[in-house]
Amino acid sequence: MPLVTLADVLQPALKNGHAVGGLVTLGWEDMRAYVAAAEELGCPVILQAGPGCREHTPLPVLGAMFRHLAEGASVPVVAHLDHGYTFEDCKIALDAGFTSLMYDGSRKPLQQNIDETAAIAEMAHAAGISCEGEIGFVGYANGENSAGTDPDEAAIFARDSGVNAMAISVGNVHLQQDKEGGLDLNRIAAIAAVTDVPLVIHGGSGVPVDQRKHLAANSAICKFNIGTELRMAFGAAMRRAVNADPDLFDRVTILKETHDPLVAATKQVLQAFGGGKG
């Protein structure tokens, strides 16, 4: 089926009590496995091109890859720009066929974040696609600290920016390699009480699976971004393939060995969010 927008998959998630996986891609091997896993489960999937991916592969190439996978898929697929930091980033992604733009102005003062995000949202909506924004900076493991989202500021941001989804900072951290983080449920409830926009958790790899399941079914959290957890599964599978045969050198042969393990790991991630066929 053709690519769909972020709103196309998040509004049903909000209404019906499930979430959708925003899966961070780095190349053909992982994005192909993500779609295969989603097809097996009968659930939508969001393919995300973040800054690291874009450094390696140009956005027009990524857009073509996402479109190719979506057109052959039996489930809805969203082509999502993750952490666009400039208007130019977002415009290039739009022109490359992406169906969702995430503008990250979370490091900036509230009004500047609103104004810049609103400009991206206006551009996206004029093209018939979606926009995600971020209010409350989400930090990085062993790096910048998070700044928790203020519910009052979140209400203003959601109202004035025009976003289709809002990423929030509620104890989540990017690049966590364990699931010991846990989120601030009271802060999530306070934010949800003052806005009706689907909420997004970046740094989902650090969130315990039971909490993911609970929030997907019982809160306005409609999208979990998952990157590190699946990169670790991919890396482990590739390491096993290389170590199993010291004479192996053909990268296509090596990379084929990552597919089935990554599909299995992705299915485990997506099953926690519900929304599939069973």
Q: Name every residue whose Cβ is closer than 8 Å to that of residue 273 and which is 6 or more positions away in sequence.
A: 18, 19, 20, 21, 43, 212, 213, 216, 224
Catalytic residue from among 30, 82, 89, 150: 82
Task: Supply 212's token pair.
Answer: 């993911």
Nearest to 154 by CA among 120, 194, 121, 208: 194
Which residues 6+ apart lie within 8 Å of 150 measured at CB? Answer: 136
CA distance 66 to 34: 11
Instruction: Count CA atoms within 13 Å of residue 220 on its CB side.
Output: 19
104 is catalytic: no
Placement of tokens 């994005």 in the chain:
31
Calculate the alpha carbon distances from 164 to 46, 133, 144, 158 in Å.
14, 8, 27, 9
Q: How many angstroms separate the CA atoms of 93 and 62, rounded? A: 9
DSSP codes of every residue in 90-149: HHHHHHTT-SEEEE--TTS-HHHHHHHHHHHHHHHHHTT-EEEEEES---BTTSSPP-PP
Of residues 142, 194, 143, 133, the one with CA closest to residue 169: 133
Which sequence positions are flagged as catalytic? Answer: 82
